[in-house]
Amino acid sequence: MKPTATPSFLEQTLSGKTAIGLPYKLPGGVNVQVMDEGVIRFEPRDSAHRKLDLVISCGVHGNETAPVELADALISELMTGALKVRARVLFVFGNIEALRRGVRFVESDMNRLFCRLPESHDGPEARRATMLEMQLMRFFARAMQDGKPRLHYDLHTAIHGSLIEKFAIYPVPPEGKRFDREQIARLGRAGVSAVLLQSARAPTFSYFSSQHCDAVSFTVELGRARPFGQNGEVDLSAMKAYLRHLIEGRIPAGAGRGDAPTVFRVSREVMKRSDAFELKIDGKTDNFTPLPQGMLLAADGESECRVEEADARIVFPNPDVVVGQRAGLIVVPDSATA
């Protein structure tokens, strides 16, 4: 009889078979430990082999499966020893119940539930977000003392088509720090063509790790959201190669001028303040579609949102978000890089 293959970490997670466990040893001097459901850590035993601290998260939205398949493939390579670990690496599958159901979220959008006030609304996704915050604080705590690079890539795919397929959102670094241009240039090596500098606070996972773990963090959009097994058209080869380099403790140089990402700045968030909110463009408009100066972009009761900026483009237009959330971003070329 043919032996059955060991289920991957993703398969085990989706079938409810991962639980917090004791660390165990892999050949090649690596400790591995399941920290919580869908959260697994790899750590070289020899501290000289811990070149950096890296968090790779995915599945914060349960319908965005291509990055989850990518992370699962990397975990399998680590388990078999095909990929050598020269970094501390934490993998996170964000919203497991939503991944099981193939939906963006079950009750509330988890990527609007980080950095919450303790007394705010509770629910399964809010509790999971808080648990993930604790996991990241714990993971990065040691790194804060040893001065090694701390990186967090929160991998997503987008609801919309996009004139720029792969792009990243760079949340504002903590007070006293600047957006790091070298980190932006490096993302060019991962196939990322544009980076949006976001200066406002955000309830997102990458904003949390940037502010509270002092990590260099990005939300990375890698193409179109599709169900498990249907991601053939999403080419993640450059991102996979980039993450493999980091896991092997090698920090890639920034991309050359031709491949360096174009930098945009988030000029404004379009907020949905009431049920009367109306987006004046189609909610299915492609990301990065130019917006003519002066156009009426949205109305919310008496208040109007007109495009004042030159060279503005729309990203993540979505009139269907709940009241109080952003219904789109207006981005403009970053003058410091133009």
Q: Does 318 bind ligand LFNQLBSZ (CB under 6 A)?
A: yes
DSSP single-letter state for residue 153 = E
Specify whether 97 is catalytic: no
Binder to ligand LFNQLBSZ among 158, 215, 298, 330 (CB under 6 A)?
Answer: 158
Q: What CA–CA distance (Å, rounded) separates 92 from 64? A: 14
Q: Could you please report the per-residue DSSP string of 92-123?
A: EE--HHHHHHTSS-SSS-GGG-TT--TTS---
Which of 221, 278, 304, 308 is flagged as catalytic?
221
Instruction: Let me know the angle formed at the C-alpha of 296 by 295 and 299, rounded to the nearest 5 degrees.
Output: 170
Q: What CA–CA distance (Å, rounded) separates 183 from 196? A: 13
Q: Segment 23-62, which members bind Zn ion (CB under 5 A)?
A: 61
Q: What CA–CA distance (Å, rounded) separates 27 from 31? A: 9
State residue 145 phi and psi, 5-degree precision.
-85, -30
Nearer to ligand LFNQLBSZ, 9 or 170 (CB): 170
Q: Does 156 bind ligand LFNQLBSZ (CB under 6 A)?
A: yes
Q: What CA–CA distance (Å, rounded) separates 274 from 282? A: 19
Q: Which two tokens stand for residue 33?
A: 């430990």
Enumerate the β-bridge partners of residue 31: 25, 43
Binder to ligand LFNQLBSZ among 209, 219, 231, 262 (CB under 6 A)?
Answer: 219
Nearer to Zn ion, 159 or 260 (CB): 159
Convert residues 110-139 into a mask of x (bound to Zn ion by CB under 5 A) and - (unbound).
Answer: ------------------------------
> Shortest approach of ligand LFNQLBSZ to residue 316 CB, angstroms?
4
Q: What CA–CA distance (Å, rounded) separates 228 from 251? A: 30
209 makes contact, choosing from Zn ion, ligand LFNQLBSZ, none, with CB < 5 to 8 Å by partner type, with none
Q: Binding residues for ligand LFNQLBSZ, how many (CB under 6 A)?
A: 13
Nearer to ligand LFNQLBSZ, 42 or 105 (CB): 105
C-alpha dihedral sign at 67, 184, 147, 81:
positive
Q: What CA–CA distance (Å, rounded) separates 48 from 194? A: 34
Is 61 known to sit in a ligand binding site? Answer: yes
Rounded to 5, what percent of the chain is helix, strand, coil? Answer: 25, 30, 45
Binder to Zn ion among 156, 166, 272, 326 (CB under 5 A)?
Answer: 156
Q: Segment 248-307, which members bind ligand LFNQLBSZ (CB under 6 A)?
A: none
Convert residues 87-126 into a mask of x (bound to ligand LFNQLBSZ by CB under 6 A) and - (unbound).
Answer: ------------------------x---------------
Q: What CA–CA distance (Å, rounded) separates 93 from 118? A: 23
Cβ neighbours around 281 below 10 Å, total: 16
189 makes contact, choosing from ligand LFNQLBSZ, Zn ion, none, with CB < 5 to 8 Å by partner type, with none
Is 212 known to sit in a ligand binding site? Answer: no
Residues assigned a catalytic role: 221
Annotated binding site for Zn(2+): 61, 64, 156
Residues of the shown chain interacting with Zn ion in the complex, contacts defined by CB under 5 A: 61, 64, 156
Q: Which residues bind ligand LFNQLBSZ (CB under 6 A)?
A: 61, 111, 156, 158-160, 169, 202, 204, 206, 219, 316, 318
